[in-house]
Amino acid sequence: MSGQNYAGAQRRSGRAVTGPETESSDVQRNAGRGHSQKTSGPGTGHEQVRLNAYLAHSGLCSRRDADRLIEAGRVTVNGRIAHPGEQVDAAGRDHIVADGRVIGTSASPIVVAFYKPVGVTCTERDPHADRTLADVFQFPTRLTYAGRLDRDSEGLLLMTNDGVLIDSMMRGSAGHEKEYVVRTVRRISDVDLERMRRGMYLRDLDTTTRPCRIERLGDRTFSIVLTQGLNRQIRRMVRACGGEVKRLKRTRVLNVELGAMKPGQQRILTREETARLYQAAGLKAPV
């Protein structure tokens, strides 16, 4: 990222961190809706984009949450209340206000790799949480996490101001890879690892997991690559085998690796990493 773009990111105001809690069918229904197109109105010739995608691109929120804001009548376009499915000018010529805040698209997408420590809850505010993400992650631009980790897990979180990237990465049907290293209290047998590898029925979720890649690393340690994000999926799979997770660390999301980072450390992705991430997520790489 150039110094000019980074300085521009620093000047943009807003909360430092927030994020969607889980995957949702709303995200799947909205898949692909954010693509821009030429307006059919006579004499305009301006590129149009759906309002929910515009709000997501701005870093305000995810596309799902943008839909909720619009449906609640909390967004105006050129002084009038917006309606679901509305299209706006992609270049920012329309005056858009959400909850009293004037919205503009982010000129430079930012993606930050952050090592979430154990004991940190992925939320902005939680009266019952000892530490939240807002307590340990600081950045001059408001960023949102793409794919949460539960409080007792640690490892790689991708933080970004691009809501469309988040929506793409959270879409379970896309099969995006996330890799973890798991340490259990007792040894999980080869037979049980094979059960997990092939896909197993989880009674409490009433669903069968997708096949996944598993490699034994030690007597009580293995790596696992998932292509879905069920709630506490790995812990539930291990429990279904009669075991218990002692330590769970996410080491990779798509092409981005945790590497040698330590808990609490963060780094901005390189231009090359960011381009490969967007391509892996099925999006056009930012210029």
Q: Are strands 111-116 and 266-268 parallel, antiparallel or unpaired?
A: antiparallel
Domain co-membership, 235 together with 111: no
**Predicted confidence (pLDDT) per residue in 94-110, tens digit:** 889 888 887 765 557 88
Structural domain boundaries, residue 210 = 177-253
Domain co-membership, 168 together with 285: yes
The SS3 call for residue 121 is strand
The tokens 């967007």 sit on which residue?
A: 278
- pLDDT of 36: 40
CATH number at residue 71: 3.30.70.580
Rounded (10°) CA dihedral 29, 32, 35, 37: -80
Domain co-membership, 3 together with 96: yes
* Exposed e or buried b per residue across 212-227, where buried means at least 16 C-beta atoms within 10 angstroms of its C-beta: bebeeeeebbbbbebb
Domain co-membership, 123 together with 43: yes
Domain co-membership, 200 together with 286: no
**Predicted confidence (pLDDT) per residue in 1-27, tens digit:** 433 333 333 333 334 454 443 333 333
- pLDDT of 39: 38
Q: Which helix (H) or strand (E) holds 217?
A: strand 213-218
Domain co-membership, 137 together with 238: no
Ranges under pLDDT 70 in the chain: 1-46, 91, 104-107, 124-125, 172, 287
The count of structural domains within the chain is 2
CA triplet 3, 139, 252: central angle to 5 degrees?
Answer: 95
- pLDDT of 41: 35
Domain co-membership, 280 together with 200: no
Domain co-membership, 220 together with 147: no
Q: Are strands 245-253 and 154-160 parallel, antiparallel or unpaired?
A: parallel
Domain co-membership, 52 together with 111: yes
Catalytic residue among 150, 152, 162, 190: 150
126 given a catalytic annotation = no
